[in-house]
Chains A and B, each alone.
Chain A
Amino acid sequence: MAPRTVAPFGPQHPVLPEPIQLKITYENEKVVDVVPALGYGHRGIEKACELNEYPKNIHLVERICGICSCIHGISYCETVERLWPLEVPPRAKYLRVIYSEMSRLHSHLLWLGLLCDALGFESMFMQFWRIREKVLDILEATSGHRVTQSISVVGGVRRDIDAEQEKTCIKVLQEVKKEAESLINVLASDPTVKARTVGKGVLTKEQAILLGINGPHLRASGVKEDSRMLGAQAYSELGFEPIVETAGDCYARALVRAREALQSIELQLEAFSKMPEGEIFERPKGRPPANEVTYRAEQPRGECFYYAKGNGTQHLERFRVRTPTFANIPSLLVMLPGCELADVPVIVLSIDPCISCTER
Chain B
Amino acid sequence: MPVMLPTVLRNLFGGPATRMYPVQVREPFAGARGQIEFNDDKCILCGNCEKRCPAAAIEINKDKNELVFYPARCIVCFVCAEACNKEAIIEVDKWRTPYYTKPVEVHTAKAKKDKAKENKVE
Contacts and interface: CB of A to CB of B under 8 A. Distances in A.
Interface stretch (B26-34, B37-45, B96-104, B105-113): B26-34
A59 B77 CA distance: 8
Task: Decide if the interface of chain B is mainly helix, strand, loop or mixed.
Answer: loop
Interface in B37-76: 52, 54-55, 75-76
A238 interface: no
Nearest to B91: A144
Nearest to A129: B17
A350 interface: no
A182 interface: yes
A127 B7 contact: yes
Interface size class of A (residues with CB under 8 A): 20 to 34
Interface residues of B, number: 20
Contacts of A186: 3-4, 7
Contacts of B3: 182, 185-186, 189-190
A52 B77 CA distance: 16
A133 B33 contact: no
Nearest to A183: B7
A150 B52 contact: no
Contacts of B33: 144-145, 150
Contacts of A58: 54
Which residue, B33, B76, B82, has most C-beta atoms of chain A within 10 A? B33
Interface in B1-36: 3-4, 6-7, 11, 17, 29-33
A170 interface: no
Contacts of B79: 59
Given A144-B78, A186-B3, A186-B4, A55 B52 contact: yes
Contacts of B17: 130, 133
B77 A140 contact: no
Contact of A140 (B11, B32, B55): B32
A159 B17 CA distance: 29
B59 to A, nearest CB: 16
A171 interface: no
Contacts of A127: 7, 11
Interface string A116-138: 00000000000100100100010
A144 B4 contact: no
Contact of A56 (B54, B76, B78): B54
A274 to B, nearest CB: 25
Contacts of B82: 158
A198 interface: no
Contacts of A56: 52, 54
Closest 7 pairs (CB-CB, A-B): A56-B54, A144-B33, A141-B29, A59-B54, A186-B4, A186-B3, A130-B17
27 contacts: A55-B54, A56-B52, A58-B54, A59-B54, A59-B75, A59-B77, A59-B79, A60-B54, A127-B11, A130-B17, A141-B29, A141-B30, A141-B31, A141-B32, A144-B31, A144-B32, A144-B33, A144-B78, A145-B76, A150-B78, A158-B82, A182-B3, A182-B6, A183-B7, A185-B3, A186-B4, A190-B3
